[in-house]
Amino acid sequence: MRREAFITAEEAHRAWLTAERIKRVADRLIGLGPFSIGLDGLLAPVPLAGTLFSLAAGAWLVREGFRARASAATLARMSFYVGFRTLASIVPIEGWLVDILFRGHMMAARALQKDIARRFGEPPQAAILEARRRPFAPRAAAPEALAT
């Protein structure tokens, strides 16, 4: 029996949208021309706060990957990205540069989103735009409801 048989498209799309919100908050909260910075980079100089945020956001992303029944390769790649990102934040100064320049959460979220899109397609465009516009808003009951 295939793994995706245990998850509905709606559940997969919710995971996709959650990854979009985490990506936005962690790495793209404030746009500065072609560059952006997220809560991850803003919290970098604050002792322990940046590391705890990185760990929590990364664990949430990996959890969403498990819930979406992502492939083992995708989960391993996601774990590497957020693990490296979190461990780097422990080191003062150089770690802060990694916090700002290495977008581990974004890379992990994209890996999960590609995995989900390959199996279920992307969620409706309206749901994606809403997740990008309001990343702190509670999740919608069903992404398909935003398509109408």
Is there a contact between 102 and 87 (Cβ–Cβ < 8 Å)?
A: no
Query: What span, in angstroms and rounded, lies between the C-alpha atoms of 27 and 103?
Result: 6
Whole-prediction pTM: 0.86
Is there a contact between 89 and 54 (Cβ–Cβ < 8 Å)?
A: yes
Phi/psi of residue 29, each to 5°?
Answer: -70, -40
Summary mean pLDDT of the chain: 87
Percent of the chain with pLDDT over 90: 57
User: Residue 144 above 60 pLDDT?
Assistant: no
Phi/psi of residue 91, each to 5°?
Answer: -80, 125
- Who contacts 73 (Cβ-Cβ below 8 Å, separation ≥6)? none
Is there a contact between 54 and 100 (Cβ–Cβ < 8 Å)?
A: no
pLDDT band (50, 70, 90) for residue 1? very low
Nearest to 106 by CA among 85, 137, 136: 85
- For CA atoms 118, 119, 120, 123, the dihedral sign is negative
Query: What span, in angstroms and rounded, lies between the C-alpha atoms of 108 and 129?
Result: 20
Query: What span, in angstroms and rounded, lies between the C-alpha atoms of 70 and 113?
Result: 9
Convert the pLDDT of each residue in 15-61 to its tens digit: 999 999 999 999 888 887 888 888 988 888 887 888 899 999 999 99
pLDDT band (50, 70, 90) for residue 98? confident
